[in-house]
Amino acid sequence: MASLVVVAPQRAFALASEPQAVAIFPVELWDTSGEGVKPGQAERLKLATNELTKLLERTGRYRSVALSPFAARIAATEPRYNCNGCWLSVARDAGADLAVLAVVHKVSTLISSVDLYVADVVTGKYIAHVEAQFRGDDDRAYVRAFDFLVNERLERK
């Protein structure tokens, strides 16, 4: 009777389960509502970015890298949804394997959609894209939208 013994370094198995380093860029707003800037909108986008970071880390698949040292470079990439990968060098320099970009498209106070893209930093190619529509233009609506997007869409891919 023959038997097969496979010897692999223990570290190889640990790597497969370790969270990937991810650059989570600030959530952006693409406002075509014609309503103009609303009070609290910048704070709402920061809240959405913080919520997105928490949700992604909570999955155990992602570990966010610090982007604060790159604040000026990140600001220069806006709008990231229309810059043809201009954010890639920031993600690479931050030590990320992946980059996450999110944009809220505000059609009106009532109707918005959100797109979330995950990109491989080495190739620059998107490896995941999820989207959802949501109703409302307040903190609660944004938090619920990102919760749904991560837990019900991204995690099921």
Structure tokens at 105: 């498209």
Q: What is the mean pLDDT of residues 1-25?
A: 58
The reply to whether 13 falls in a domain is: no
The reply to whether 8 falls in a domain is: no
- pTM of the predicted structure, to 2 decimals: 0.86
Cα–Cα separations (whole angstroms), residue 53 to 8, 24, 46, 61, 130: 34, 7, 11, 12, 16
- pLDDT by residue (tens digit) across 99-120? 999 999 999 989 999 999 999 9
Q: What is the extent of the structural domain holding 62?
A: 19-154
The reply to whether 134 falls in a domain is: yes
The reply to whether 58 falls in a domain is: yes
Which residue in 127, 129, 137 sits closest to 98, CA to CA? 127
Select the more confidently predicted residue: 78 or 12: 78
Q: How many structural domains is the chain composed of?
A: 1
CA 151 to mean position of chain CA atoms: 13
